[in-house]
A and B are shown apart, each in its own frame.
Chain A
Amino acid sequence: MLETRLSATVFALIIINKAGGLIYNKTFHEAGLNKISTNDLLVLAGTFHGVHAITARLNPIKNPAAAAGITAPAPNPAAPPGILTRPEPQSGLEVLESENFRLQCFNTMTGTKFLLFTDTAQANVDVTIRRVYELYADYVMKNPFYQLEMPVRCDMFDRKLLSYIREINSR
């Protein structure tokens, strides 16, 4: 039982900018993931950025309008003619599961990606990742010395993030 108690853990956080560059990475739990070099991590961030774009395009339902038509044959009467309703935007990869870990990806409106690696048993990761985004907005974006799209080196962000994740990992 001790093992399951220890297993609910956040392993690491990676932030990828909208061009696919790695701008932040932090490991919270050493035993969770393999240690990989910064160079490999940069490659990984770039690869993930590309794969994320492809996964959004792989949606097998290419024609959402027809899908709506099959489930409800009558066209939407509320929509006035001539106005095209905009379908939900395609989202890329959101959760990846493997035998040893779980990866949650949060893509912000501006294309910055937050990747949170957790144990497979971790719950409510979407809440955690949104909180991390809030911290990023508060302590990185509002830092007047932070240059956009550049690596994040903000002490306040580091400190707040660490204390937040430590609180989760010790739960």
Chain B
Amino acid sequence: MTIYSFYIFDRHTECIYSKSWLHPSLTEPPPRPISTTTTTTTTPSEPNTNTGPGRPDRRSRAARAGDDAKLIFGTVFSLRNMVRKLGGEDDAFISYRTGQYKLHYYETASSVRFVMLTDTAAPSMRNVLHQIYINLWVEYVVKNPLAPVEHKGGAGVRNELFEMGLDQFIRGLM
């Protein structure tokens, strides 16, 4: 089982924590192939430098990760509402799977949302997300007297104990 990434969203729909366990080269979109009129062979390093003057500057990795977080939130929010509409108010959205990955979702009573992306073969990670909530979030973020009530921009979440605990827990699963 491989765990790709993990996100926490607060009740104001803001992404307050995100972490990826993927190799950075995998999350970069592949360089666009350049059409050449001549039959010269391009070296692998060329497409990266040859983005062309007409194209806007490549966006930073952080900006793209932020976009991904927003898309993920929009997706789980829509699906959660859809599930509630069809299955009743007490129904809960658990996960979805595509051909490439699987997304797991867990929402607490206080509307903190935990999202995890794994490979398609992973079993249900609902209890794992629940464990993260109980053993890491409540212990190291909620019970931390220095952490603010609202985690604007991730304030209070990025503390050493929480990050270390999460990393160890996830690496233990893989």
A binds B: yes
- List residues of A whose CB falls within 8 A of some B CB: 33-34, 36, 40, 44, 47-48, 50-51, 54-67, 70, 81-82, 84, 88, 90-101, 117
Asked whether, in the complex, the Cβ of A99 is within 8 Å of the Cβ of B28, the reply is no
Q: Is the CB of A63 within 8 A of B87?
A: no
Evaluate contact between B29 and A62: CB separation under 8 angstroms. yes
Stretch at the interface among B51-59, B90-98, B151-159: B90-98
Which residues of chain B from 118 to 168 have any CB-CB distance to chain A below 8 Å in the complex?
A: 124
Bound together, the chains give a CA A52 to CA B95 distance in angstroms of: 14
**B86 touches which one: A62, A90, A95, A117 (CB < 8 A)?**
A117
Binary interface encoding of chain B residues 63-104 relative to chain A, with 1 for a CB under 8 A from any of its CBs, else 0: 000001001101100110011011110111111111111010
Name 15 A/B residue pairs within 8 A (Cβ), A-sorted.
Answer: A51-B78, A51-B79, A56-B98, A60-B5, A60-B20, A60-B117, A90-B98, A90-B100, A95-B97, A97-B95, A97-B96, A97-B124, A99-B90, A100-B88, A101-B86
- Chain B residues contacting A65 (CB-CB under 8 Å) are 30
- Complex: A13 Cα to B26 Cα, angstroms: 37
Tell whether A44 pairs with B82 under 8 Å between CB atoms, given A33-B87, A59-B100, A60-B27: yes
Q: Report A-chain residues with C-beta under 8 Å of the C-beta of B33.
A: 84
Known: A60-B20, A60-B117, A65-B30. A93 touches B85 (CB 8 A): no
Residues in B neighbouring A59, C-beta threshold 8 A: 98, 100-101
CB distance from A76 to the nearest CB of B (A): 14
Of all chain A residues, the one with the shortest Cβ separation from B42 is A82
Q: Cβ of B87 and Cβ of A101 under 8 Å apart?
A: yes
**Residues of B close to A57: CB separation below 8 A:** 71
Residues of B within 8 A of A (CB): 4-5, 20, 22-23, 25-30, 33, 41, 68, 71-72, 74-75, 78-79, 82-83, 85-88, 90-101, 103, 117, 124
Bound CA–CA A146/B103 (angstroms): 38
Task: Specify which of A50, A62, A93, A100 is in contact with B27 (CB 8 Å cutoff).
Answer: A62
A98 neighbours in B (Cβ, 8 Å):
83, 87, 91-94
**CB nearest neighbor in B for A67:** B26
Cβ A34 vs Cβ B86 within 8 A: yes
Q: In the complex, which residues of chain A have a beta carbon less than 8 angstroms from the beta carbon of B27?
A: 60-63
Residues on the A chain within 8 Å of B117, using CB: 58, 60
Q: Which of B4, B25, B33, B90 has the most CB of A within 10 A?
A: B25
Answer whether A34 and B29 are a contact pair too, CB < 8 Å, given A48-B82, A97-B96. Answer: no
Among A60, A64, A66, A100, chain B packs the most CB atoms within 10 A around the CB of A60
Min CB–CB distance B95 → chain A (angstroms)? 5
Distance (whole angstroms) from the CB of B121 to the closest CB of chain A: 13
